[in-house]
Structure 1
Amino acid sequence: MEQNLYFTVFPCQKKKPILKKLWIQRLKNVRANLIVNDSTRVCSAHFDGPFTHESIPTIFPSKPMKKVTTRRPLFRKEVHSENTNTDTAELDENENIKIPNISTCIMKDLNIASDIDKVNTCSFRTSCTQTEITTFTTNASTCTTTDNIETDIKIHSVSVGIQTDLPQITIENVKHDNAKVRFYTGFVNFSVFWMFFSVLLKHGADKLNYWEGESRSMGEKSYQQEGNLKPGRKRFLRPIDEFFMVMMRLRLGLLQEHLADIFRVSESTVSRIMNTWINFLFDNCKSLVTWPTREQIVCNLPKLFTGHPDTRIVVDCTEFYIEKPSSLKAQWMTWSEYKHSNTFKVLIGVTPSGMVTFISRLWGGNVSDRHIVQHDEFLPKLSKGDVIMADKGFTVEDLLPADVGLNMPPRVSTKKQMSHLEFFKTNSIASARIVVEMKMEQIKNYNILNSRLPISEAHLSEQMIFICAAFTNLLPPLLK
């Protein structure tokens, strides 16, 4: 006997909202683009048994059945203790893949000197807690290629630990590609990266007192003296990995949570490394920002400055966006009418060739350029006969000594056109002053400064800006 088919409407939304929702879920498994309205009907063939007010459509003959795939059987292979000290790799009968013996890999790692060129292939590696540079010359001319470094550097491992989780990327992975080294670290090539890191090692990079709060971190420690080992638990990362992590943070602006995933450590470990290394780099980068003599500037004077041979420094202020502080006073101090946002401001001075020679302290965005010049130890650095080149908004003529000049574009009234002499003077100064704009763009290539600085790292902002500006002095000159 044939079954009589009929169509039924959906349950009422007000009386039975849950039942209607179940109907829609079941029907959308068959028709994803289903649109339910007052005229939508469901055939009685989709219901199991006689239809009632609580029935749910469950029968869909046209819906293809999912193919059930069975998992392949897994076999556990017994590990024989007599083979733990051998170098032979066992062969899995099911996969035909050679699986190296783990204990053999560990023993090999303990016998391998932790040279920077060796990367362990068995998911284990040695991490040096104290290293000694035996043969290395700091002359940049002898460190032009990686091959020279590989032959001149020998690192002896004093204390070795095992880390089972390797970082996803290390300096060894990119050291042969100069473009990658510059992308991740900002250094021109691996030679410069290694030269700077070797200097940090000589200043105690392998015996840092990690920041753990003011009460526990202040003061020098006994293990920081020569000949004493660092007590406590071993480092999770090598010193060069920590330095690489900090440079990735500055160059790429990666968040600490992201760096924790890349280097396979906890986020709190990344925070301690950042607080410690940023302050350590700040102390060791001060030698990169020097005040050159006038003779040194004249010997390296670019062609664009032939019309301005007395120029000692080109200055300008730049601002960096920050997150909005919660304090109303902090909001007022950091508000910039020029950027229409909360910012930090810093005064930067460069030589005519583009080398950074002066970096002021960090100021709030509402501070004027005049105030920074007057209160940030810039004027005492000037000597008799010096000339400062600046933009036309840099109104500090009355603050300068009588024997110090200020070269800036002439102020022109908006009611009349520039004269012939004013036009050429403005053009000459603007074409030369562009060097400081180029330098500020180079500094902001470190993406930590190109984005909004987090309030949680406001205590490190001045150090990070100084470090990024100092590292640009290791790049080729901007003008020749």
Structure 2
Amino acid sequence: MDAQHLEQDYCSVPEPAAVDNALNQTEDLRKEVDRLRRQVEELSVSQRFCLGRFAASDDDVRFYTRFVTYSHLMAFWKLIEPASHNMIHVSRARARATTIRSEAGTTGSAWSLQPIDEFFLFMVHLSVGLTQRDLAHRFNIHQSTVSRIITTWANFLYTVLGSVRIWMSEEEVKAHLPNEFQDYPDTQVVIDCTELRCQTPSSLLLQSEVFSTYKSHCTFKGLIGMAPHGAITFVSSLYAGSVSDKELFKQSGIVSLLKPGMAIMVDKGFLVDDCVPCKVYRPAYLSKREQMSADEVRETQSIARLRVHVERLIRRVKQHKLFDTVIPLSITGSINQLYTVACLLVNYQNGPLVKAWAKD
């Protein structure tokens, strides 16, 4: 062994400066890795079709979900998120009527999307009316998974929102009564019907049941009740389009909520005076008379000005574009849940119907 190796000191330690330099390099590398990881995550979010991609744009959030701002949407999500942990998921074996219950505290569901993005997918379907095939491509999941997510969230929101009492007491209605209703101070609810066009069934019997003579098309028909200050306080189930307004009113269940001291405001076609225990405000109509009196004309114009707001409210419901097209018969099994959820969501998605009516 030569002298050079004999003189080597294998017990020597690195200089302190060299140790500090190595540690600094390690820390710099760690920070660079973290920066690159965040950049990859940001790029992934920007390329994926998910709620996070649109969080910075209230206009996009409003377009895809009908919630007026991202903050509104997240406030609503905080209300329903705790209940979503016990959500019943529709399984692949729907024919056997089986379901999958998600475990409490689980971050994901039976499929690949996070719960908040499942909710976002449902809202995009409802609000923009995108087909299941389109949604499957956008979210990069199978079309059958899209179908199960939509059905699952329709059932879940129908149950959760339906458990919230929206009918208001007489005292609550009067406490929020706008000045515009001072001539009708006992008005409890403003009522109107709306129709949703549906695909024509091949069965002639079914065609006759859902055909609406008013719309000259096959429709589903529902009744909506609005408190004078603009909140939805009653939503009926959907009925076949051939049902009359009066029959729908009787079958809807709203009569049981009315009391003698209340009044309802309806359109001239609602001849329901013999069905209710309360007063009815309705525009006058000529019947067999040649003309109305001056008082009747003034009252008709006054009621018409107030009733226009329930029509505006119904337009808010139909801003969910799923109902702006002909509804395919393939979703009739869940159309009642979808429609009811769309109606109930209106109370959460928007600001006041008339800003001047809003009270602190």
- Under a length normalisation based on structure 2, what TM-score does the superposition of the two structures give? 0.83
Q: Larger Rg: 1 or 2?
A: 1
The separation in 1 between residues aligned to 2:107 and 2:312, in whole angstroms, is 44
Tell me: CA distance 1:440–1:370, structure 2 relative to 1, closer, same or farther (3 Å).
same
Answer yes or no: is the 8 Å Cα contact 2:232–2:344 preserved in 1: yes
Shift of 1:200: 2.4
Listed as ranges, the matches of 1:173-252 within 5 Å are 173-205=53-85, 208-214=88-94, 216-218=96-98, 221=101, 224=103, 226=104, 235-252=111-128
- Give the equivalent residue in structure 2 for 1:359: 235
Counterpart of 1:438, as a letter, is R
How well do the aligned residues superpose, as a CA RMSD in angstroms? 2.8
In structure 1, stretches of 5+ residues that fail to align are: 1-85, 89-103, 113-117, 126-165
Counterpart of 2:57, as a letter, is D
- Give the equivalent residue in structure 1 for 2:41: 120
Counterpart of 1:419, as a letter, is S
Which stretch of structure 1 is more off in the superposition, 418-427 or 334-343? Answer: 418-427
- Give the equivalent residue in structure 2 for 1:263: 139
Q: 2:207 aligns with which of 328, 331, 336?
A: 331
> Do residues 445 (structure 1) and 319 (structure 2) align?
yes
The separation in 1 between residues aligned to 2:305 and 2:87, in whole angstroms, is 48
In structure 2, stretches of 5+ residues that fail to align are: 1-26
The separation in 2 between residues aligned to 1:167 and 1:454, in whole angstroms, is 31
- Give the equivalent residue in structure 1 for 2:221: 345
Shift of 1:358: 0.6
- Give the equivalent residue in structure 2 for 1:77: none
Answer yes or no: is the 8 Å Cα contact 1:248–1:254 preserved in 2: yes
Shift of 1:195: 1.9
Counterpart of 1:333, as a letter, is E
Q: 1:464 aligns with which of 328, 338, 345?
A: 338
Counterpart of 1:395, as a letter, is L
Tell me: CA distance 1:443–1:288, structure 2 relative to 1, closer, same or farther (3 Å).
farther
Structure with higher helix content: 2
The separation in 2 between residues aligned to 1:413 and 1:122, in whole angstroms, is 67
Shift of 1:235: 3.2
**How many residues are aligned here?**
327
Counterpart of 1:412, as a letter, is L
2:199 counterpart SS class: coil
> Do residues 281 (structure 1) and 195 (structure 2) align?
no
> Do residues 425 (structure 1) and 305 (structure 2) align?
no
- Give the equivalent residue in structure 2 for 1:153: none
Answer yes or no: is the 8 Å Cα contact 2:88–2:99 preserved in 1: no
1:373 counterpart SS class: helix
Shift of 1:472: 0.9
Counterpart of 1:478, as a letter, is L
The separation in 1 between residues aligned to 2:133 and 2:165, in whole angstroms, is 32
The separation in 2 between residues aligned to 1:245 and 1:331, in whole angstroms, is 32
- Give the equivalent residue in structure 2 for 1:161: none
The separation in 2 between residues aligned to 1:423 and 1:324, in whole angstroms, is 40
Shift of 1:337: 0.3
Counterpart of 1:305, as a letter, is F
The separation in 2 between residues aligned to 1:254 and 1:122, in whole angstroms, is 25
Shift of 1:326: 2.0
Answer yes or no: is the 8 Å Cα contact 1:167–1:262 preserved in 2: no
Answer yes or no: is the 8 Å Cα contact 1:211–1:276 preserved in 2: no
Q: 1:370 aligns with which of 241, 246, 250?
A: 246
Q: 1:170 aligns with which of 42, 50, 54?
A: 50
For residues 18-46 of structure 1, the C-alpha deviation after alignment (integer angstroms, 9 at most, x for no partner) is xxxxxxxxxxxxxxxxxxxxxxxxxxxxx
Shift of 1:234: 6.3
Tell me: CA distance 1:453–1:267, structure 2 relative to 1, closer, same or farther (3 Å).
same
Shift of 1:230: 8.8
Shift of 1:211: 3.3
1:388 counterpart SS class: strand
Shift of 1:347: 0.6
Counterpart of 1:326, as a letter, is S
Identical amino acids, percent of aligned pairs: 34
1:410 counterpart SS class: coil
Tell me: CA distance 1:288–1:191, structure 2 relative to 1, closer, same or farther (3 Å).
farther
Higher relative contact order (CA 8 A, sep 6+): 2
- Give the equivalent residue in structure 1 for 2:351: 476
- Give the equivalent residue in structure 1 for 2:267: 391
Answer yes or no: is the 8 Å Cα contact 2:211–2:241 preserved in 1: yes
For residues 312-346 of structure 1, the C-alpha deviation after alignment (integer angstroms, 9 at most, x for no partner) is 00001110001111222221110000000000000
